[in-house]
Amino acid sequence: MPEPALRLDARLEAAAALVRPGLPVADIGCDHGKLAAALAGTGLYPKVIASDLRPGPLAKARRTVEQAHCQDRVELRLGDGLSVLSAGEVGSVVIAGVSAQTAWQMLEAAPWVFDTAGPRLILIPATRHDELRRWLAGHGFRLVCDRPVEAAGRWYAVMAAEYDGQRRALTWAEALYGGTGAWPQAAGYAAKQREKLAKLRRGIPDGTPDADEIDALLQGG
């Protein structure tokens, strides 16, 4: 059992399970550093890079890593988004706890992720899950996992995306639910997403294709 201070919540546990083993991994916006320390503790990764934009969280992450006695396996880097990485350096990139827009802006600033040999992206958007799914599909990424997770009373989607270069347009249902329907927690996540959909519908004119599709989803329950 991990030490209590290093136990991950359900979101980060799900993210850790999606990291490609045997390759370096980066936790971007590492905050407290628990995920980086937990990954390093498994011994499955030759290097774990933990980065943050601010010195304060990075100092907290350093303390976490030292308390877990894995400082020899974790490299801490101060910097903005994926600018701390170079092409081909890691096999997986974790971005958790930021908005969907912040996540895709980080990706847009790192052209090397748009490559079939690029890293697996493990994303846990704090908001606007549907918009992140649309962005990924529209920019040539396919979701290899889309898992609904409840943590601290909130619903999250833990996504793993890989670039295949095929751009796709999503329906409202695909954007709203993604692949979460395959999981036991699907009903709880879907209910929360429908609440958001009802609010979005208010801003869409009646009689439009978007309005018709959303109405059908809402009536379908």
pTM of the model: 0.92
pLDDT of residue 113: 97
Cβ neighbours of 185 (radius 10 Å): 14
> Could you give the angle at which helices 34-42 and 10-18 cross, rounded to 10 degrees?
40
pLDDT of residue 219: 85
Domains (range + CATH), the chain: 4-181 (3.40.50.150)
SS (H, E, C) 82-121: HHHCCCCCCCEEEEECCCHHHHHHHHHCCHHHCCCCCCEE
User: Residue 77 belongs to what H/E stretch?
Assistant: strand 74-78
Two tokens at 207? Answer: 């009689």
Two tokens at 117? Answer: 């040999």
pLDDT of residue 221: 54
Integer angstrom CA distances of residue 160 from 2, 59, 138, 202, 214:
25, 28, 15, 31, 26
Type of residue numbered 121: L
| Sequence-separated (6 or more) residues with CB below 8 Å from residue 103 | 95, 123, 125, 132
- Tell me how far apart the alpha carbons of residues 128 and 100 are, in angstroms, rounded to a whole number: 6
pLDDT digits (tens, 9 = 90+) for 26-80: 999 998 999 999 999 999 999 999 999 999 999 999 999 999 999 999 999 999 9
pLDDT digits (tens, 9 = 90+) for 28-40: 999 899 999 999 9
- 8 DSSP 8-state letter: -
Q: Pick out the chain residues at pLDDT < 50.
A: 1-2, 4
